[in-house]
Amino acid sequence: MFWYGQIGASCRTGRNGYKICREQKRHDRRRQMMTNHKPLITAGQLFVLLFVSRLALTMLYSSALMGITSLWEMMVPLLLWIPSGLILLWPSVGFSRRGISVCDYSVRHFHITGKVLSVLYGAYFLGAAFYCAYLMKRFMTDILPQGVSVQVMLVFLIAGCIYAAGKDIEAIARTAFLVLWLLAAAVLLMVIFLLPGYSSAQLSPVYYLSGTSVIDGWVLLIGRMGSMAALPTLIPCVKGNIRRSAGMYMVCFSTVVIFLIVLLAGSTGNYLKNQQFPIFRAIDGSAVLQRLDPLFILVVICSLFCHVTLLLLSFGHSMQAVFSRWSISRLTVIGGVFLIGVVLLWPDSGTVLFLWPPIVPALMGIFFVTVVPGICWLHQRHKEKKSPSVQTRKSRWRIASFFSLVLCLCLSVSGCRSLQLNQRMIVQGVGVDRQEDGYRLTLMTLDTRDHEKDNAMTMVFAEGKSVAKAIEALENRSGKKLLMNQCLFVMMNRRAAGYAEKTLDYFTELRELPKTVSLMVSEEEAESTLLTAAEQFGDRSEDIHALSDSKAVAQSTVQCTLLEYIAGRNEEREAWIFPYVVSDQNSKALMVRGGYLVDCERCGCTLSEEETTGYLLVKGMCGMLYADTADKVQVTMLPYAEQERLRIDFHVLIEWKKGISAEQRQAVQQDITEAINACCQKLLLQNGCDVFSIEEYLRNTQSPLYDRRENMCQLLRNADYRIQIET
């Protein structure tokens, strides 16, 4: 009674006159819950769940492997990460023997400090769930067809995660095993269909590695251990040998990461490097894998589902240590509703979320996976000693050595406090100017250290006999490699536009260019056009109307916009599929370069005339369709301003200077007509030519017509042909 009287204001009087302390009642309730709690899953099931949830993000978004240039630049950091990862997991595994979560232990023994740590754990889990849901939103935006609401689908998925989290961890663990089998099947299919074309040219060992790049790769891999923070919070739900399961987890995860690194280092890396969703994009390179789209989509969606559910469940467990009156299900619902609201209201800010310094998730992972469980473990061991007077000094030395280890880890990564992308020159726009003595490149780069500023763009110049020489000189001068993840191209003059296909081939094969880029040709004020357009459309724009509304573009005499650039080859022409249209100020299409319009969703299937017309009209783009008949070449143009058809007919008229027989005239006229039509097709669809100057071009360059027959040259000299253009 005396002890209860000391509580004072925290006590209340019951019906029977007994004083019951609120704090004591709450403490007894928590103790009863912890002692009566029974494990639900085995340690192997928990680590399978962690493996599936973590591997989904590793495969979906390869930011940790973005800067890879050779096999060993990421293999060495991985070899360093395996022992360091085991050391970082050691406190959580050692703390697991008592069967009490970190949040419960910290609240029970550290009081206010423990409550603050539990709230930090909950905020960390909710932030990680938001990041995963944001990735899910961007992924669904790509895979869902137009007309399907991404917001509605996302709400249903997160609602399913809330329901699964309410069913506790046992149901999620069963789902994780199913996803593991599907994931194994997907990886096996990738090995079967992608590795036969693998090139081992980049697997040669590198005898000089930059220490900064090795540390950066190691820090990025440490940051990928963020989901392991759920381990010390879900320990009461687990039974079995956690140490052995943790070792198996590290071995399996390292094996899969090694497979991804080897895959990225070879020729298949052209599909995966710097892609927002690399594994899903890799199926574009194989016709067989395209038929398995549902399998890949199901694996990714289920993995993200498990990841979000695990984070919401961990949020409920950590927050219940503070709000013991509320159940885990109620706290999970609150966190899920908050997650839905933030994801739906958060603007699509492009790559802003992905430009975090890698040191931030690495330090957060070390804190929640290692530091807090380590402190609780040392405190636990200190209280279990029978002779505190003898063991106090040893405990203090252990605490000091532990914090020294953490301090060494923090100091070792202190040089990586800036972005890993600071080693790369992020290019927002490239202006290509072809001169007599070579190329002059104008590059607009983004300063990643000041990317939050309003004006973080800088203009740099490079010259060389070729584009490769100019790029090499720029990289040697700046000490950075170019990163052209989202880039706008501007051709400064017609000479540069004539070599646009080769230029983009170079950037696509060697400079990690994405599959779809924006291209613009301007003859006047090219530098200002580059600066203005890239500032307004930095995230890549395929809308011709938006580009034409730019003041700098409107002032130029000729502009050229790339409709669709597909990183694939046409088997018939064996050239890059590269169609785009040049138009003047009056929105009249004058020139076409490239080949057929290809639907990227069907990857290589040439569209018919009706499909192409509908595709261009829906996209709001201008285009040009070609039809070859017996006696004339018909070209259908689609001005994007009026959205009308402009049909241009090329009638081939042949007059003979010297008389020949009617039979010879009829046979030769047919051959000449076919030859001229073939030449027109080549000029229009491959080389690019102004349709109103094609007649003059044919007269000056008749060599393509000489290959038909031996006497074709003599016949053409005796004939006077002209091309009549009718609109």
464 within some domain: yes
Q: Measured between alpha carbons, how far is 434 from 523 in angstroms, rounded to an integer?
A: 12
DSSP string, 487-500: -EEEE-SHHHHHTH
pLDDT confidence of residue 262: 62
Is pLDDT larger for residue 602 or for residue 363? Answer: 363
Residues whose CB falls within 8 Å of the CB of residue 107, separated by 6 or more in sequence, listed in order: 30, 114, 115, 118, 321, 322
pLDDT for the residue numbered 109: 80
355 has a pLDDT exceeding 70: no
Q: What are the E-state strand segments in 389-527?
A: 424-435, 438-446, 457-464, 481-483, 488-491, 518-521
Q: What pLDDT score was predicted for residue 633?
A: 44
Contact 527, 556 (CB under 8 A): no
- pLDDT band of residue 557 (cuts 50, 70, 90) is very low
Mean pLDDT confidence for 130-146: 72
Determine which of 244-253, 377-386, 523-532 has the lowest per-residue pLDDT on average.
523-532
In a domain, 469, yes or no: yes
pLDDT reading at 250 higher than 60: yes
Asked whether residue 158 carries a pLDDT value surpassing 70, the answer given is: yes
Average pLDDT value for residue range 229-248: 75
Q: Report the candidate in 438, 529, 537, 437 with the shortest Cα–Cα distance to residue 487.
A: 537
Average pLDDT, the chain: 59
- The Cβ of residue 265 has, within 10 Å, a number of other Cβ atoms equal to 25
Q: Is residue 439 part of a domain?
A: yes
Are residue 61 and residue 111 in the same domain, yes or no?
yes
- In degrees, rounded to 5, the angle at the alpha carbon of residue 394 between the alpha carbons of residues 389 and 399 is 120
Amino acid 657: pLDDT: 55
Report residue 474 CA to chain centroid gap.
26
Is the backbone of residue 468 left (phi > 0), alpha (psi -120 to 50) or beta? alpha
Instruction: Give the separation between CA 481 and CA 439, rounded to whole angstroms.
Output: 19
- Residue 151 corresponds to which amino acid? Q
Least confident of 215-224, 306-315, 674-683, 685-694: 685-694
How many residues can be counted in the chain?
A: 727
User: What is the model's pLDDT at position 699?
Assistant: 55
Cα(464)–Cα(471) distance, integer angstroms: 8
For residue 636, pLDDT beyond 80:
no
Q: Examine residue 428 and state whether it is found in any structural domain, yes or no.
A: yes
> Nearest Cα to 464, choosing from 435, 490, 493?
435
151 is a domain residue: yes
Share of the chain above pLDDT 90, in %: 0
Of the residues 601, 624, 647, which one is the last residue of a structural domain?
624
Judge if 397 and 269 occupy the same domain: yes
pLDDT of 139 strictly over 50: yes
Residues 319 and 430 reside in one and the same domain: no
**pLDDT score at 255:** 73
pLDDT digits (tens, 9 = 90+) for 529-550: 444 444 443 333 333 333 333 3
Q: In this structure, are 104 and 228 located in the same domain? A: yes
pLDDT exceeds cutoff 70 at 166: yes
552 and 700 co-located in one domain = no
Among 111-115, 217-221, 264-268, 407-411, the range of highest mean pLDDT: 111-115
Per-residue pLDDT band at 553 (split at 50, 70, 90): very low
Give the DSSP letter string of 613-656. Answer: HHHHHHHT--EEEEEE-SSEEEEEEE-TTT---EEEEEEEEEEE
Quick one: pLDDT at residue 28? 55
Indicate whether 653 and 616 sit together in one domain.
no
- Residues 213 and 543: their CA atoms lie apart, in Å, by 38
Q: How many domains does the chain contain in total?
A: 3
Mean pLDDT, residues 2-22:
41
Residues 499, 688 contacting (CB under 8 angstroms): no
- Identify the domain boundary among 595, 624, 653: 624
pLDDT at 236 over 50: yes
Q: Are residues 613 and 640 in the same domain?
A: no
The pTM of this model reads: 0.50
Is residue 96 in a domain?
yes
Q: Span 376-404, mean pLDDT?
A: 59
597 with 642, same domain: the answer is no
Q: With contact defined as beta carbons under 8 Å apart, do 255 and 58 qualify?
A: no
Helices first, then strands: H and E counts in the chain = 29, 17
Averaging pLDDT over each range in 293-297, 423-427, 433-437, which range is the top one?
433-437
Kindly state whether residue 24 falls inside one of the protein's structural domains. no
The C-alpha atoms of residue 442 and residue 431 are separated, in whole angstroms, by 5
Query: What band does 488 get if pLDDT is binned at 50, 70 and 90?
Result: low
Q: Where is mean pLDDT largest: 19-23, 271-275, 356-360?
A: 356-360
**554 and 665 assigned to the same domain:** no
Please check whether residue 79 is in contact with residue 250, taking contact to mean a CB–CB distance below 8 angstroms.
no
CA distance 282 to 271: 5
Q: What is the pLDDT of residues 18-42, one digit of tens each?
A: 444 555 555 555 544 444 455 677 7
- pLDDT higher than 60, residue 635: no
How buried is residue 438: exposed, middle or buried, by Cβ count under 10 Å (0-12/13-18/19+)?
middle
Task: Choose one of 573, 589, 624: the last residue of a domain.
Answer: 624
If pLDDT is split at 50, 70 and 90, which confidence band does 58 have? Answer: low
User: With 80 as the cut, is the pLDDT of residue 518 above it?
Assistant: no
Q: Does residue 345 surpass a pLDDT of 70?
A: yes
**Angle CA 27–30–34, to nearest 5:** 140
Q: Residue range 278-306: average pLDDT? A: 63
The verdict on 432 and 554 lying in the same domain is yes
The predicted structure's pLDDT at residue 480: 73
Given a cut of 70, whether residue 177 has pLDDT beyond it is yes
CATH number at residue 313: 1.10.4160.10
**pLDDT attached to residue 43:** 74
Query: Per-residue pLDDT for 133 more than 70?
Result: yes
Q: Is the pLDDT of residue 252 over 70?
A: yes
Structure tokens of 462?
């490079």
Q: Is residue 327 part of a domain?
A: yes
Question: What is the DSSP annotation of 490-539?
Answer: EE-SHHHHHTHHHHHHHHHHHS---S--EEEE-SSSHHHHHHHHHHHSTT
What tens digit of pLDDT does each residue of 62-113 get? 444 444 445 566 667 777 777 777 777 777 777 766 667 788 888 888 878 8
456 and 384 assigned to the same domain: no
Residues 327 and 441 in one domain: no
Residue 143, Cβ density class (10 Å: 0-12 exposed, 13-18 middle, ≥19 buried): middle
Assign 677 to helix, strand or coil.
helix
Beta strand ranges found along 140-221 (DSSP E): none
| Tokens found for residue 123 | 């905020």
DSSP string covering 135-157, please? HHHHHHHHHSPTTS-HHHHHHHH
Mean pLDDT of 346-367: 60
What 3-state class would DSSP assign to 720?
Answer: strand
The parent domain of residue 261 ranges over 37-416
419 pLDDT more than 50: no
Give 452 or 664, the one with higher predicted confidence.
664
